[in-house]
Structure 1
């Protein structure tokens, strides 16, 4: 309504600055908890929908800074971006900061164009599963493991039991399926510019400058400079954030303030925080 009204105002009273909504997608990808705030469809859907609903915006800009995480949440975020872009007929410009690797790169390819810093990290198109084995430790500390199941494969890859080669092969088969889905998604978006390189889908990662040569990104560029070049010196980036709830916490983080529920899964959250830190450290961050 306001934009329609502006057309009838004398030019001195009109704002002709093109406004480009910007959504920041930062952090490891997965479900949030009391001690961890992560990227998921739940946490980003509201700012994405608000950004794409800005009718007068010539495009939507996404700042991606993520070392990866859940392949499911990564693809859900990718799909939501592409669905909104199609529904609202908007171009999507992605700007990679420190890293867009693994699931972070899966999100980045939702962009019609991907801009990087020369020292950004991109790629890592692969699938990984990691854990620990405690078979020797549990015996040394005098703990007896008791597990009862209905279904002989219910405790596959239990860290308190010796590994079974058959179970490892089964896990690798699942990883291969997920990897193929990842590869198909990247090819569907960038097949016309991807280099013919045998390492492209090996899980390796590269600097932004090399990523451009491989077709993983399009150009070196930062948000403000690119927007001014595309849409004029008056182009204004406008950050769209998730709405704030009680105590200023962003909505959709999945945090419950009940004392009992807050402590549930605390150990899991602590371990997850360590794993998330390891994700960043893998890329030297």
Structure 2
């Protein structure tokens, strides 16, 4: 072997060693980032148990945003209530609501689950605490609770059903557009905006809305009972501020999560049982968005496949 070959071989070996050292450091830092994120997730979710005080606790579960399959808030609140009630230290569950409503199907699911859990855990009250708004589907869900609280200026009620759509048959005619819709079944295109609707089809849609509205009314009457006042506007779809809602029997009083826990349950030990669908979002609230974004990029940049949830 000539000296040139020997030199090249030594250079290559040193390069390989340097690459190995660099690779080890990259792996170390990536593992460190993962450990930091894992620790953050633990402290932000399961690790909260460490911070809980001894003795009885009042659980709080958030119920926020438009109710529907996309937001998953119906699933979140159901999981949170169940977890809170299963905890032996929980003496009551307060659902912190701020929702304009949404799907009657998912609102009914929450209503039914609260009714079921009230029977299963009769010694642990389930109560709604309204922040800014609890209207329509939110109130549908809340009606099943033991009690409903709000602020004097909160928006409450809207016991009604709405369907939105539009018709554009004349508009497409003026534009020279021909709708080439093909259906099997005379009512299959009901609600389609580019074909005219018959009076019969409009009556069908109104009937469906009326039936859902009746289900809503029954749920409210079953939940609120004789607390409700006899007012002709009660089930008209109208909404009220908290001060008027209390006069109508739609709420039981005024209060916040902290004041109700303190005054009604004599506890300042409030524990949040709201499940977090994205633990990294909870970390970003605690440690800052920039830190978490950097951590995400570090993990994704390491060549790992899949998403971080």
TM-score range, shorter chain: 0.7 to 0.9
**5+ residue gaps in structure 2?**
1-51, 283-309
Q: For 1:94 and 1:247, locate their aligned partners in 2 and report how far apart those are by CA, in whole Å.
A: 28
Query: 8 Å contact 2:165–2:191 — kept in the other structure?
Result: no
Inter-CA distance 243–121: structure 2 relative to 1 (3 Å threshold): closer
**Deviation string, structure 1 residues 43-66 (Cα, Å, up to 9, x no partner):** 433222212211221111101111
Inter-CA distance 151–50: structure 2 relative to 1 (3 Å threshold): same
> Which one has a bigger Cα radius of gyration?
2
Query: 8 Å contact 1:27–1:66 — kept in the other structure?
Result: yes
After TM superposition, the score normalised by the length of structure 1 is 0.76
Aligned to 1:67: 100
**5+ residue gaps in structure 1?**
1-13, 250-285
Aligned to 2:23: none
Q: For 2:53 and 2:102, locate their aligned partners in 1 and report how far apart those are by CA, in whole Å.
A: 41
Classify the secondary structure of the residue corresponding to 1:171.
helix
Classify the secondary structure of the residue corresponding to 2:226.
coil
**Deviation string, structure 1 residues 91-144 (Cα, Å, up to 9, x no partner):** 112101111111011111121111110000111111111111111222233332
Q: For 2:221 and 2:189, locate their aligned partners in 1 and report how far apart those are by CA, in whole Å.
A: 36
Query: 8 Å contact 1:52–1:85 — kept in the other structure?
Result: no
Query: 8 Å contact 1:64–1:96 — kept in the other structure?
Result: yes
Query: 8 Å contact 1:24–1:62 — kept in the other structure?
Result: yes
Classify the secondary structure of the residue corresponding to 2:216.
helix
Counterparts of 1:232-251 in structure 2, within 5 Å, are 232=266, 234-245=267-278, 248=281
Q: For 1:170 and 1:241, locate their aligned partners in 2 and report how far apart those are by CA, in whole Å.
A: 40
Aligned to 1:10: none
Classify the secondary structure of the residue corresponding to 1:55.
coil
Q: For 2:89 and 2:241, locate their aligned partners in 1 and report how far apart those are by CA, in whole Å.
A: 35
After TM superposition, the score normalised by the length of structure 2 is 0.70
> If each structure's helix is expressed as a fraction of its own residues, which one has the higher value?
2
Counterparts of 1:24-39 in structure 2, within 5 Å, are 24-32=62-70, 37=71, 39=73
Deviates more, 1:42-51 or 1:239-248: 239-248
Deviation of the 1:235 alpha carbon? 2.6
- Give the aligned CA root-mean-square deviation in angstroms: 2.1
Q: For 1:92 and 1:244, locate their aligned partners in 2 and report how far apart those are by CA, in whole Å.
A: 23
Query: 8 Å contact 2:68–2:103 — kept in the other structure?
Result: yes
Classify the secondary structure of the residue corresponding to 2:73.
coil
Query: 8 Å contact 2:227–2:249 — kept in the other structure?
Result: yes
Counterparts of 1:142-153 in structure 2, within 5 Å, are 142-153=176-187
Aligned to 1:213: 247
Aligned pair count reads 231
